[in-house]
Chains A and B, each alone.
Chain A
Amino acid sequence: DTGVSQNPRHKITKRGQNVTFRCDPISEHNRLYWYRQTLGQGPEFLTYFQNEAQLEKSRLLSDRFSAERPKGSFSTLEIQRTEQGDSAMYLCASSAGLADGDTQYFGPGTRLTVL
């Protein structure tokens, strides 16, 4: 069990550029969540996948954000036309479902800095 992994760990980009992050969940977990954390705050929910289906999106997820989970394995989160307000830690979590109370296990996060 290698845990949840995320790449890259850090990303610095200029305003207006597109960025893409990857998340590899724990292999047997069919549920995958994306969260965003800004300084001094707890993580905030962005979107949820069950297998390959994106079932829920937060109102925080503007139309510049898109997420995919092809084949129900890894997931990508893309931000188009980045803005300085997008600077945050982007966290991915996976869970096995209700048998475990849907306990979510987090990856190390991707720190995005938009200049």
Chain B
Amino acid sequence: DQQVKQNSPSLSVQEGRISILNCDYTNSMFDYFLWYKKYPAEGPTFLISISSIKDKNEDGRFTVFLNKSAKHLSLHIVPSQPGDSAVYFCAASAYSGAGSYQLTFGKGTKLSVIP
């Protein structure tokens, strides 16, 4: 069972427009959510995060929205730039009880920003 789902494998957006990437989760114990960006043959790069006590977090062109009742979060990139083209992973964490806050990842959404 997939606890974190990214239902869109890919997304194409024109440069300068808004990119919206979506993520749904099923585990109500998740209390911290993160977005990572990944280029081929590299490790994931941390972008932005949000705690479950908030509904919005903004950092420059990136904004993450959290709707706890719907178990849904989204990443907005405005304006989109060609350098944003990458695979974006949604991740969620909860205390495991054994000491870790291991991350559970979605399968990723490949964003292509067209010049």
Could you tell me which A residues sit within 8 Å of B by CB distance? 4, 6, 31, 33, 35, 40-45, 48, 50, 55-56, 58, 91, 93, 95, 98, 101-109, 111
What residues of chain A lie closer than 8 Å to B100, measured between beta carbons?
31, 33, 45, 48, 50, 55-56
| Closest chain A CB from B88 CB (angstroms) | 11
17 contacts between A and B (CB under 8 A): A4-B43, A40-B107, A41-B107, A42-B106, A42-B108, A43-B105, A45-B102, A45-B104, A50-B99, A56-B99, A93-B103, A101-B49, A101-B51, A102-B93, A103-B46, A106-B46, A109-B42
Let me know if A48 and B43 touch, CB within 8 A: no
What residues of chain A lie closer than 8 Å to B49, measured between beta carbons?
101, 103
What residues of chain A lie closer than 8 Å to B34, measured between beta carbons?
103-104
Let me know if B107 and A104 touch, CB within 8 A: no
In the assembled complex, the Cα of A111 lies from the Cα of B103 at a distance in Å of 20
Let me know if B107 and A43 touch, CB within 8 A: no
Please report the total number of B residues contacting A with Cβ < 8 Å.
27
**Assuming the A-B contacts A42-B89, A42-B91, A42-B107, are A106 and B43 also in contact, with contact meaning beta carbons closer than 8 angstroms in the complex?**
yes
Q: Does B26 contact A (CB under 8 A)?
A: no
| Closest chain B CB from A87 CB (angstroms) | 15
In the assembled complex, the Cα of A45 lies from the Cα of B107 at a distance in Å of 14
| Closest chain B CB from A59 CB (angstroms) | 12
Closest-by-CB residue of B relative to A48 is B100
Closest-by-CB residue of A relative to B108 is A42
Q: Does B62 contact A (CB under 8 A)?
A: no
What residues of chain B lie closer than 8 Å to A104, measured between beta carbons?
34, 46, 103
Closest-by-CB residue of B relative to A55 is B99
| Closest chain A CB from B9 CB (angstroms) | 9
**Assuming the A-B contacts A33-B102, A42-B91, are A108 and B43 also in contact, with contact meaning beta carbons closer than 8 angstroms in the complex?**
yes
In the assembled complex, the Cα of A45 lies from the Cα of B100 at a distance in Å of 10
Contact partner of B43 (CB less than 8 A), chosen from A42, A56, A95, A109, is: A109
| Closest chain B CB from A33 CB (angstroms) | 7
Let me know if A101 and B107 touch, CB within 8 A: no
Closest-by-CB residue of B relative to A41 is B107
What residues of chain A lie closer than 8 Å to B46, measured between beta carbons?
103-106
